[in-house]
Amino acid sequence: MLIHYIDIAKRNFVIAVSSLSKTKTETNNPKGIAHTIEYLKKHKVALVVTESTGGLEIPAAKAIHRAGIAVIIANPRQTHQFAQSQSLTKTDAKDAKMPAFFAQMKAQKEDWQTMPYHPPTEAEEVLEALVNRRNQSADMRTAEKNRLHQVHETQVGSVKQLIAHFDRLIDESDKQIDDHTHTHFDGKAQVAEQIKGIGSITTATLMAMLPELGRLSHKRIASLVGIAPHPRKSGEAKFKSRCFGGRSAVLKALYMATVAATRFEPLIRDFHQRPLSEGKPYKVAVTACMRKLLETFAKFLSLTTTEIPTQVFGCFRPKYRLILPKHPLNPPRTPDNQASGLPFRRQRAHLACWRLSTGSNTSPSDGFAHSL
């Protein structure tokens, strides 16, 4: 399989094919991108790899994807460390050749079919732009608030005017985001906001900044966000696992949503108390809850508005079935019989779920409703 790499800069980009020793330089504009696509088709390239370069790679990636060629946007940290391990010099030609070999090695090692870039729809692009602008306004407002305590008294009024201006901009952005999500993503937004702690801004941030939700596994998603613990072991030495990297905008939104969910969403609150009762640090418990909340959010996005789980006693209602009365492994649950499973307060929640699912106001005579 021929793998092609493009080292993209603001004015031009360098093209390298893994099977060829020469490189080719094109201008980073629509005409140069069109010439690049012709060059790719001429050499029958199956996969194109480029690095994330602050958004400069997006126009070329979209055009190549539309031409029917798979595109992967690689993590520049990984390609840089690979180049260091190969002791390659720093030139544009070397920069173009090196990741081609890196991509070839990675494609042989992993299932590259799950890795290609998927261009966002027009509605998703607008949502991402709205969320980005809101985050920028919030950052600038924070900077002005920090200056307020140190600025000279003659400039206090100017700083306060800017803070009020950013407040208005953020309010306008919130309204635009809410209108856009309910116009173009009404079903998903309505389902996701059933989780206590998840609001319209958090929903929009996760949908805009984490488009891989639903396409990748939960472990890969956690690693993308930066909440996957990476173990550090060497011989007999064992150090604490660390979470690092990730997408800062997603981390900020998810952390604040998790803090609220640990107080008001019983499913997350119970999950949060478990590591704390074992003596683990607060941040370890919160990080675990962030992964749990993100996993729940991803599952809810896959539902439709007709499948919204009903919240009963603050618990999510999955599908329920009625266990046969005399099942030997599932004796009838009573307040005095704790050997069969959950505490009695949870049994009340399950009983309410059974009534909702059956439309009956009576209790099951001998058996009890268990979640699948």
- In terms of residue numbers, what domain contains 53? 3-114
Residue 314 lies in a domain: no
Pair (94, 7) in one structural domain: yes
The whole-model pTM stands at: 0.71
Q: Please name the residues in contact with 289: beta carbons below 8 A apart, sequence gap of 6 or more.
A: 258, 261, 262, 268, 271, 272
Pair (348, 364) in one structural domain: yes
DSSP state of 47: E
Residue 196 lies in a domain: no
Pair (127, 102) in one structural domain: no
Residue 232 lies in a domain: yes
Residue 127 lies in a domain: yes
CB 76 within 8 A of CB 52: yes
**C-alpha span between 156 and 144 (Å, rounded):** 10
What's the pLDDT at 371?
Answer: 34
Pair (357, 298) in one structural domain: no
Q: What are phi and psi of 239, to 5 degrees?
A: -110, 170
10-residue block means of pLDDT along the chain (372 residues)? 72 75 82 89 83 86 89 81 70 64 66 70 92 96 93 93 96 94 81 85 92 85 90 86 88 94 90 91 93 90 57 39 36 45 44 44 41 32
Pair (108, 130) in one structural domain: no
What's the pLDDT at 304?
Answer: 53
What's the pLDDT at 367?
Answer: 39
Residue 213 lies in a domain: no
Pair (110, 129) in one structural domain: no
Pair (22, 71) in one structural domain: yes
DSSP state of 362: S
Q: What's the pLDDT tens digit per position in 231-259?
A: 888 888 888 888 888 889 999 999 999 99
Residue 92 lies in a domain: yes
Cβ atoms < 10 Å from Cβ of 175: 11
What's the pLDDT at 132?
Answer: 95
Pair (126, 89) in one structural domain: no
Pair (14, 84) in one structural domain: yes
CATH number at residue 96: 3.30.420.40
Helix (H, G, I), strand (E, B) or coil at 4: strand
Residue 175 lies in a domain: yes
The number of folded domains in the chain is 4
Pair (129, 226) in one structural domain: no
Q: Which alpha helices (DSSP H) does the chain contain, by range?
A: 30-42, 58-66, 76-86, 92-109, 122-148, 156-184, 186-192, 200-209, 218-225, 248-264, 266-277, 282-301, 344-358
- End of a domain among 76, 96, 114? 114
What 3 state SS string does 240-262 have? EEECCCCCHHHHHHHHHHHHHHH
Residue 209 lies in a domain: no
Pair (177, 141) in one structural domain: yes
What's the pLDDT at 13?
Answer: 83
- End of a domain among 307, 338, 358? 307
Pair (95, 10) in one structural domain: yes
- End of a domain among 307, 329, 353? 307
